[in-house]
Amino acid sequence: MEEFSLRVIEIIRSIPEGKVSSYGRIAVLAGAPRGARQVARLLHSSSRKHNMPWHRVVNSSGGISLEGDAGQIQRGLLEAEGVEFTTSGKVKLSAHLWEG
């Protein structure tokens, strides 16, 4: 596995319960500022295999990018950790954003 992927896995695993980070911020922390899509692909393909808390990764505006049931599952997991949402359905980043 390449170094970027290993760093992404480590970063995502370190997001604390009740906090979220964005695909882009994780990419920056892993050394690839333009690698947000790579982060998304890695989450999609390897979350279970590498035991990553995938639900703690949202888009840059605090929105859940997954649609349908998957998005509802993600929101439920976040709410179970105490993450609050705005009336427009986005994570309250002022309270829950993890910068790494």
**Residue 53: per-residue pLDDT:** 97
CA 24 to chain centre: 9
Q: Where are the domains of the chain?
A: 3-95
CA distance 1 to 19: 27
Q: Is the pLDDT of residue 89 over 70?
A: yes
Element (H, E) at 76: helix 68-80
Per-residue pLDDT band for 21 (boundaries 50, 70, 90) equals: very high
> Hey, what CATH class is 3-95 in?
mainly alpha
Torsion angle, alpha carbons of 42, 92, 67, 36, to 10:
-30
Whether this prediction's pTM lies above 0.85 is answered by yes
Quote the CA–CA distance of 40 and 92 in Å, as a whole number.
21
Tell me, what's the pLDDT at 64? 97
Q: What percent of the chain has pLDDT over 90?
A: 95
8, 33, 78 from 37: Cα distances, Å: 12, 11, 22
Whole-angstrom Cα distance, residue 70 to residue 67? Answer: 6
